[in-house]
Amino acid sequence: MYPNASLYGEKELGGLHVMYVLNDTPDKYRLPVDPKFPATAIAWKDVIQPLGWAVGGLTILGLALNYIIAREAKMTKSLPGKKENK
Amino acid sequence: MTTKNESVIEKYSKAGRILHNIHTVAFVILFLTGLILFIPQLAFLAQHDWTRMIHRVAAAIFILAPLTYFIVKPKAALHAVKQAFVWGKDDLGWLKAAPRYYFLSDEEGMPPQGEMNTGQKLWWFIVVVFSAVFIATGLVMLLLKNIAPPEVFQWMVFVHDVSFIVTGAMLFVHIYLGVIHPLMTEAWKAISTGVVSAEYAKSHHRLWYDEKVKKADEKGK
């Protein structure tokens, strides 16, 4: 009776939490046949987010490391920031 | 001969410092109200419109402050923007010598610097370029929200976020070098009072110092 009947929402985008029993193919219901995540959503979640944490974290770590080393070096070199008056 | 005998030299004009401080405050507010969108756990703060309103008000200040400066001090503004794009082989020398200097206090191999050293210029370049990117992408998001195709809008968010990461990280470096780094003894003084000691100018900005002395000498004659 319904040769094209289909189940929509089971596999699309890894499962939609809602399933539709359709009498015909999804496109007849104006549903996207093969929906995809937008590239920007993937770029944001998998690139921008981790990149932001990595860059921010490494920067602060690097600055802290620099402070420890530079302070030590300055003390042993007797204020080179102020010397060299020629 | 005046400059030689005076112990201080003007590094930043009053108008320049006011612009710097207004722009900084605006940027920090933009940074924080943007950061809560970047950290999913804090995103609930944005569900009422007020953080987004604050973001927009700060954005308006972020745009209007440099524009005002351009109108009031067109010569100084143009001179400053130009400096961001003038690069030479001394800059390469600075980049090579910088790690030993900033970590080990080793001044050897550090080429004499102009009004801005290479590192300051790099930051300044980032400020100029990414401010433009921030403003362009932000305006598209604000004004063309319902007009631009969703893909365009989403890529604007993406570029806005990349700018946020670059400038945010570099802002930490900028504040660190200006306020905390053991060798930058007078950077904070320069931006808060406008002047540095002749001694500091000589050791940190030799080319600029020499130029100032020469100009002062010519005036004195």
pLDDT tens for A25-53 read: 888 888 888 888 888 888 888 888 899 99
B97–chain A nearest CA distance, Å = 15
Both structure tokens of B22: 């207004």
**Cβ-Cβ contacts under 8 Å, B182 against chain A:** 67, 70-71, 74, 81
By Cβ distance, the residue of A41, A60, A80 closest to B107 is: A80
Q: Which of residues 30-49 of B touch A (CB under 8 A)?
A: 38
Indicate the burial class of A46 (C-beta count within 10 angstroms; 0-12, 13-18, 19 or more): exposed
Q: DSSP code of B195? A: E
Structure confidence at residue A79 as a pLDDT band (50, 70, 90): low
| A67/B181 touch (CB, cutoff 8 Å), yes or no | yes
What is the per-residue pLDDT for A83?
46
Q: How far is B200 from chain A, CA to nearest CA, in Å?
A: 7
Give the residue with greater pLDDT, A74 vs B152. B152
Residue A85 has pLDDT above 50, yes or no: no
Is there a contact between A83 and B200 (Cβ–Cβ < 8 Å)?
no
Which residue of B102, B105, B165 is in closest CB contact with A52?
B165
pLDDT of residue B119: 86
pLDDT given at position B31:
95
pLDDT for residue B3 is more than 60: no
Alpha-carbon distance values, A50 to B35, B38, B163 (Å): 14, 11, 15
Which residue of B173, B183, B184 is in closest CB contact with A63? B173
Q: What backbone torsions phi and psi does residue B38 show, to the nearest 5 degrees? A: -85, -25
